[in-house]
Amino acid sequence: MTHRAAPSGDRPTGRITGTRSPVCARSGMIATSQPLASAAGLQALQEGGNAIDAAVTAAAVLAVVEPTMTGVGGDLFAIVHDGRSGTLKGLNSSGRAGSRADPDALTARGLAAMPLHGPLTVTVPGSVAGWAGLLQEYGSIRLARALAPAIHYAREGFPVSEIVAAQWDAVAPRLATDAEASRVLLPGGRAPAAGTIFRNPDLAATLEQIASGGPEAVYGGPIGAAIAAHVAGRGGFLTVADLAAHRADWVEPVSTTYRGHRVHELPPNTQGFVALEMLNILEGYDVRSMGHNSADYLHVYAEAKRIAFADRAAHLADPARVPSALLQLLVSKEYAAERRKQIDGRRAAPRYEPAPPQPYVGRGPRSGPAVERRGDTVYLAAADRFGNVISLINSLFDSFGSGLVVPGTGIALHSRGAGFTLRAGHPNRLAPGKRPAHTLVPAFLAGEHTVMAFGVMGADNQAQAHAQIVANMVDFGMNVQETGEVARVRHLEEGLALESGVSEPVRAELRARGHAVHDGRGLMGGYQAVRLDRRTGVLEGGSDPRKDGLAIGW
């Protein structure tokens, strides 16, 4: 028997684009991809903590209960809205390539591109430095308090949620090739099924070391020594000194306006400018009159994405390799107007070139960050009664990252080094101490009286999904829950992936305009958001049904 949920149009409100209402509260709000993490963050708020305390607490729990996506061995970015000053500040806690990184040695071994997994993809993990940095700058609790719920779930166990179980099972064959990953992550030789209890006592002990020793336990301490020794023993690039040198950097977000709203993203090495460039291009069209997910709208959306991604492929790299003048050009209205002229409203272009100035134009397969990945990430948003709002993203890049687990620690190491290129002359070429081009990017949408932290998980999907989220709210009037529920699209190198909510006539018209159309199921990541109305103090939260998550407030 086939069971179908009641159509959202059957709801008493008559709104057809959401299956449930936004969550509303005044004292605090948090939205994450796992209910256990949301509950831990809510408890931190109820005990008197602020939004940053709640976010770090929830992020640590996610590192335990959604281990496919995030962990101690990953990277972190965040944007914080300070309730007192009303200002935004960004945090970049992505790690750098090890001091032994040698692209020439890799090409001499016959590699044309960075591998997707394994020891060569492991850069310094920045998660713990990010957690500690957020608490030091804005928090009211100690790191040990923030880690307590995560330690509990790692030691006592937690029931594996449905979507996490499916992701775990999909990557089990790769985990089975690594002895420690198999021992820790495949109990009984298989991925845990949904609803079964999973424990990671090694990770509990690691988190306790961090709670007592602070981030120094990772960056120069015994945990870092274990990471460096394991990666080096497998042929990777890291040393203890590389971990000891890691610092999380506070940065200024980059922004643009979209029909009177301001959209804030993070600068390189994140792809935030890509979302802003897309929105600047789309602003030149009457998107509302085109209709949501119409052929006209999706065509110009896909072409705007292709233009912005051509620029991403040429320019996205370590912050030191992206000049400020270039970044300001890429997010300017004037530049978008020139790029918009290249779009044929009736036909998909065969190719878009990056516009000058061009430090490098990638050609051929795997030319650096042009490579499109599914990506595995967690995103969360939180707000408190003081007006603080945080947008935070944490990731291993791919499911369980590199596939390596450090013996005795329970830590799965990320694969962020896969974002480098080996192409000579490219600003994103692998080099010691360089940060790779990064897909992770948290965001904010600010109106006259509102600020909303939002994000969408899913590697290369993130920037293009940000553009959809903003258009859904600004052009089509959707609320904080609806905007994450409606059918999304994702442009990939092989064509335009559409979810089932996009009609067949629209699909046919897109094909007629030259787009290869594909099934988008499982490719759209997951959205979370929290919005503050500064006039009333009311908080609204939304959580994507594509994940296991929950928005909750009090």
Q: What is the spatial distance between Cα 410 and Cα 413, in angstroms, rounded to a whole number?
A: 10
Residue owning tokens 């030789």:
189
Residue 190 tokens, joined: 């298989």
Residue 507 tokens, joined: 């699909």
Residue 471 tokens, joined: 């258009």
Respond yes or no on whether the N-terminal peptide bond of residue 394 is cis (omega within 30° of 0): no
Strands (E), 267-375: none
Q: Confirm if 119 and 234 have CB atoms less than 8 A apart.
A: yes
The runs of H, that is alpha helices, within 452-541 are 461-474, 482-485, 504-512
Active site residues: 377
Q: What is the spatial distance between Cα 475 and Cα 322, in angstroms, rounded to a whole number?
A: 32
Q: What is the spatial distance between Cα 445 and Cα 1, in angstroms, rounded to a whole number?
A: 43
Residue 174 tokens, joined: 């790769």
Q: What is the spatial distance between Cα 413 and Cα 457, in angstroms, rounded to a whole number?
A: 19
- Bridge partners, residue 75, by sequence: 395
CA separation (Å) from 228 to 224, 388, 499?
6, 37, 42
Distance of CA 123 to the CA centre of its chain: 17
Q: What is the spatial distance between Cα 31 and Cα 406, in angstroms, rounded to a whole number?
A: 30
Respond yes or no on whether the N-terminal peptide bond of residue 357 is cis (omega within 30° of 0): yes
Closest CA to 416 of 92, 145, 157: 92
Q: What is the spatial distance between Cα 409 and Cα 413, in angstroms, rounded to a whole number?
A: 11
Question: 162 by DSSP, 3-state: which?
Answer: helix
Residues 235-268 as b/e (b if ≥16 CB within 10 A, e otherwise) read ebbbbbebbbebebeebebbbbebeebbbbbbbb
Q: What is the spatial distance between Cα 382 and Cα 180, in angstroms, rounded to a whole number?
A: 35
Is residue 301 within a helix (H) or strand (E), and if so which, with residue range?
helix 295-315
